[in-house]
Amino acid sequence: YFVTSIGCVMIKSGGVIGRSWAMLFAGGGFQVKLYDIEQQQIRNALENIRKEMKLLEQAGALKGSLSAEEQLSLISGCPNIQEAVEGAMHIQECVPEDLELKKKIFAQLDSIVDDRVILSSSTSCLMPSKLFAGLVHVKQCIVAHPVNPPYYIPLVELVPHPETAPTTVDRTHALMKKIGQCPMRVQKEVAGFVLNRLQYAVISEAWRLVEEGIVSPSDLDLVMTEGLGMRYAFIGPLETMHLNAEGMLSYCDRYSEGMKHVLKTFGPIPEFSRATAEKVNQDMCVKVPDDPEHLAARRQWRDECLMRLAKLKSQVQPQ
């Protein structure tokens, strides 16, 4: 997908993430052109976006100040890459996570874009230094990594190539804010960026605890949903430290030795063995059987919860 906006956002590819970007940019009032190698993907995406926007409008959860119909009129499919790029101020690439494919696409874009448009990738884990290596327009290149589902989770990690111009980061930051997302800057590229490094740290300890028979998989998840997760939607781990004592310095004085003692007992990187995966899966399937219908229904429930949480957050944290 590309997204382009008015003046313009173009999305490259009609998959899951491309569709979400299209809806977000249209919500911000931008004209969006969708480009995908598969024409059918564009048709499916447009149909899917229409359905979803109508449902969101009925639920009072449509983003932006325009009606669903007005937002839909901003989104169009574009079968030709050259036309899709024309007039764009931002191109959001969302093709599958494959370095060679993405490099090919950025090389193609590099040869047809002007010096103003921003070339942005949705990649979850490919390094900007690999993705944008050797491009003439490298100063205009950036990773803008969304979180699934992007319509309900606002964070976008902005990761520059070492040669990305500061204005590219600033412009992308401003654009993300304009469409109601919450951008943050990763100052230097690092494997997994920031979100997945935190996520993998949690997953890895969760796995070890289950593997060692210290806790059952479903109880492990409860620790997050009924414990840590309750506060993490409002305050992060560092602010948690700050609030859990008389400020950060007091927290470190009181708890750093205890934390180090526990951290030293952490095990090695899990192998994610088949045996443990089956044990975890068995527990997970009690709540959510792993057939497509149950998984889809649970995802829908998750999205509804996130939508309500977003409403609550906007009431308690006016921006």
CB of 15 to ligand NAI, least distance (A): 2
Q: Counting beta carbons within 10 angstroms of the beta carbon of residue 113, is it exposed (0 to 12), middle (13 to 18) or buried (19 or more)?
A: buried
Tell me how far apart the alpha carbons of residues 127 and 191 are, in angstroms, rounded to a whole number: 7
H/E stretch holding 33 reads strand 32-35
CB of 314 to ligand NAI, least distance (A): 23
H/E stretch holding 142 reads strand 141-146
CB of 148 to ligand NAI, least distance (A): 3
CB of 84 to ligand NAI, least distance (A): 10
* Closest residue to ligand NAI, based on beta-carbon distance: 15
Q: Which residues pair with 208 in a beta bridge?
A: none
Between 100 and 290, name the residue whose CB sits nearer to ligand NAI.
Answer: 100
318 phi and psi angles, rounded to 5 deg: -60, 135
Between 186 and 215, name the residue whose CB sits nearer to ligand NAI.
Answer: 186
Nearest to 142 by CA among 176, 108, 177, 112: 176
Between 139 and 145, name the residue whose CB sits nearer to ligand NAI.
Answer: 145
Between 62 and 94, name the residue whose CB sits nearer to ligand NAI.
Answer: 94
Interface with ligand NAI (CB under 6 A): 1, 12-18, 36-38, 41, 94-97, 105, 122-124, 145-146, 148
Between 10 and 138, name the residue whose CB sits nearer to ligand NAI.
Answer: 10
CB of 107 to ligand NAI, least distance (A): 12
Q: Is 31 left (phi over 0), alpha (psi -120 to 50) or beta?
A: beta
